[in-house]
Amino acid sequence: MENNASSGRKKDLLFIGLGVLFAAVFFASFLLGRYSVSPFTALKILGSELLRCLSFGAFSPDGGWTGAEYSVVINIRLPRIVIAALVGAALSTAGASYQGIFRNPMVSPDLLGASTGAGFGAALAILLSFGYFGITVSAFLFGLLAVMLAYLVSKMSRLNSTLSMVLAGVMIGSLFSSLTSFIKYVADTEEQLPAITYWLMGSLSSSKKQDMLFALVPIVVGLVPLMLLRWRLNLLTISEAEARSLGINTKRLRLVVIICATLVTSASVAVSGMIGWVGLVIPHFSRMIFGYDYKRVIPASILLGGTFLMIVDNIARLISTAEIPLGILTSFVGAPVFIYLILEGGAAREH
Amino acid sequence: MSINVKNISFTYNEKEVLHDISFSAGSGDVVAVLGPNGVGKSTFFRCMLGFLHPQRGEILLNGQDIFSMTNAAVAREIAYIPQSSSPAFNYTVLDTVLMGMTNQIGLFSSPGPAERKTAMAALEELGIAELAGRGCNKISGGERQLMLLARSLVQKAKILIMDEPTANLDLGNSHKVMKRILSLSRQGYTVIFSTHEPNQAFQFANRVVALQNGRVLAEGKPEEALSECILSSLYASNVAVREIEVNGKVFKLAISYDEGE
């Protein structure tokens, strides 16, 4: 008993450490880039902007910084950093949630086809010259469709569930990516094609202030229920019969979780394109640090995912003058972790 | 606290899996549902848990139709212990037991110190408190059954339905688990368990329901209901029943044999 209590305290401390790390990376990201801004100036600009927002513009302290500094911090870096944190948190939480619903630590928004489906929905919306709202809705609907299809195919398969889920996801993903290719083929080569292509690789370089709201609203709307229901997610990882006998309405809970996870995935894809692997890697690291209980896995995924993507985005914009798409960088991390999971899973079965 | 099964029949894919089954159990009863593999024991249990709706007959829980009750209401009365439980993630034993308290924890909350204390008490009662922090993939089959038993104790339901609780256990562990089950029945729990092993019915049950091809072949006290004739028919083999005395207590024992022996 004492042992459990002390390990609980240790985890609480780790959580605080994770929160501090998140805040530190968040702030440090304002200082990184070709145009240098001193920490003090950045702090002043952010503080005054916060005050201005909180007082609805009535109070706007001013002084001590140049217009260029203000523009770099508020118009260029703030949206990028906020969106990176949101998308990282969203994809990781969606990954952790999908892994619970499908009782499978190997699934993630991209492996399930959710990202590819959402990507197709967004590409279609760009082709049809929809606005931002249209892109998000279309991404959400096709993301949901892809997850449902992958789930149905894996249910009908006679293979074991881990294998069939991954294979079905890969298959549905490839179906939607060929549909996306078709869209690229018919798209106007001057404007739409480069827009779709570059956006699909995953990038935050063109993030603007108004994008923040488009990411913030659906991601928060999806994350809040997942955060509130997080302990109950544990019950979806045991067998259907056991979960029902413990008194929960599994169908309803599963549906709520699928909708929320797909909503945050689609919103991420709509605002930042396809950033793979985050949803697989981050929940895995969260479990390594905090154990399997979703009570901690979900908040840990939010903090770790946000921190991870902010760091990756900093690397993307610092490493060379021409920015490297985020999706490429996350794959460098994600693919080896996936291989490790396959090998470890094999070893676990043998013992 | 009682469960009443009245004339239920269940048909799946036009095949009648259960035919006109009736039985009831109350506080303190230990009922063995006996039969070879594939006679519909699992289907029967899924009906009693309210998961499958029989086409005919009814199941009453404390006099109320089980199919008019919500999952949560049924869970307050009946706890279910599956034959094997293999969660996708390696939860600790304590985390697994805490899941039993779902009904007592608000939709948006998670277990706190009070719940952890209750769960630890249940683990202590079953003698496996030292396993609390262990991953549930790293414990033995017997320990796993006791962990699931602890999970149903904290659920505070008074009817325990156990699907082949000792199917994967060796003789010693199987005895340990069954002894715990017996002592729970003395505390007023109703225990309904399935088994394909007649000796377990003799040794631990006060009632037996023998199923054959989805029908009740025999029902009653094990020593009366399970005659050599009934057991021979049930297992399609020659079965002899003998009495042996151990420490002044008489046990009945079923043994199968070949004609020439």
Q: How far is A9 from chain B (nearest CA, A)?
A: 12
Number of domains in chain B: 1
- Name the band, by pLDDT with cuts 50, 70 and 90, for residue A205: confident
Is A241's Cβ below 8 Å from some Cβ in B?
yes
- Most A CBs within 10 Å, among B45, B99, B145, to test the A interface: B99
Alpha carbons A236 and A256: distance in angstroms, whole number: 12
- Name the band, by pLDDT with cuts 50, 70 and 90, for residue B74: very high
Of A154-158, B164-168, B214-218, the least confident: A154-158
Average pLDDT for A159-183:
86
* Phi, psi torsion values for B166, nearest 5 degrees: -120, 15
Q: Would you say residue B33 has pLDDT above 80? A: yes
Q: Would you say residue A351 has pLDDT above 70? A: no
* pLDDT for A1: 46
Q: Would you say residue A3 has pLDDT above 60? A: no
* pLDDT for A346: 47
Is A1's Cβ below 8 Å from some Cβ in B?
yes
pLDDT digits (tens, 9 = 90+) for A295-310: 999 999 999 999 999 9
* pLDDT for B243: 94
Q: What is the 3-state secondary structure (H, E, C) of chain A?
A: CHHHHHHHHHHHHHHHHHHHHHHHHHHHHHHCCCCCCCHHHHHHHHHHHHHHHHCCCCCCCCCCCCHHHHHHHHHHHHHHHHHHHHHHHHHHHHHHHHHHHCCCCCCCCCCCCHHHHHHHHHHHHHHCCCCHHHHHHHHHHHHHHHHHHHHHHHHHCCCCHHHHHHHHHHHHHHHHHHHHHHHHHHCCCCCHHHHHHHHHCCCCCCCCHHHHHHHHHHHHHHHHHHHHCHHHHHHHCCCHHHHHHCCCCHHHHHHHHHHHHHHHHHHHHHHHCCCCCHHHHHHHHHHHHHCCCHHHHHHHHHHHHHHHHHHHHHHHHHCCCCCCCHHHHHHHHHHHHHHHHHHHHHHHHHC
Find chain B residues with C-beta within 8 A of A228's C-beta.
107-108
Nearest to B108 among A229, A235, A291 (CB): A229
Query: Rounded mean pLDDT of chain B?
Result: 93
pLDDT digits (tens, 9 = 90+) for B115-139: 999 999 999 999 999 999 999 988 9
Nearest to A228 among B49, B99, B108 (CB): B108
Q: How far is B234 from chain A (nearest CA, A)?
A: 28
- Name the band, by pLDDT with cuts 50, 70 and 90, for residue A266: confident
Find chain A residues with C-beta within 8 A of B95's C-beta.
234, 291-293
- Most B CBs within 10 Å, among A239, A246, A296, A341, to test the B interface: A246
Place of tokens 């952890």: B116
* pLDDT for A51: 87
Searching chain B, which residue's CA lies closest to the CA of residue A3?
A: B133
Is A293's Cβ below 8 Å from some Cβ in B?
yes
Tell me, what CATH number does B184's domain have?
3.40.50.300
Q: What is the ipTM of this complex?
A: 0.91
Q: How far is B7 from chain A (nearest CA, A)?
A: 23
> Hey, what domains does chain A have and what are their CATH numbers?
80-350 (1.10.3470.10)
Alpha carbons A167 and A208: distance in angstroms, whole number: 37
Q: Would you say residue A350 has pLDDT above 50? A: no
* pLDDT for A23: 97
Contact assignment for A232 to B102 by CB distance below 8 Å: yes
Q: Would you say residue A6 has pLDDT above 80? A: no
Contact assignment for A103 to B91 by CB distance below 8 Å: no
Q: Would you say residue B153 has pLDDT above 60? A: yes
> When comparing pLDDT for A130 and A257, which is higher?
A257
Find chain A residues with C-beta within 8 A of B76's C-beta.
247
Range of B208's domain? 2-257
Is A6's Cβ below 8 Å from some Cβ in B?
no
The proportion of chain B whose per-residue pLDDT surpasses 70, expressed as a percent, equals 100
pLDDT digits (tens, 9 = 90+) for A110-141: 878 888 999 999 899 989 988 777 887 898 89
pLDDT digits (tens, 9 = 90+) for A33-89: 888 889 999 999 999 888 888 887 777 677 778 888 999 999 989 999 999 999 999
Q: Would you say residue A197 has pLDDT above 80? A: yes
* pLDDT for A348: 45
Is A174's Cβ below 8 Å from some Cβ in B?
no
Give every strand in the sheet of B15-26, ordered side by side.
Answer: B15-26, B2-12, B56-61, B64-65
Q: Are B54 and B250 in contact (CB under 8 A)?
A: no
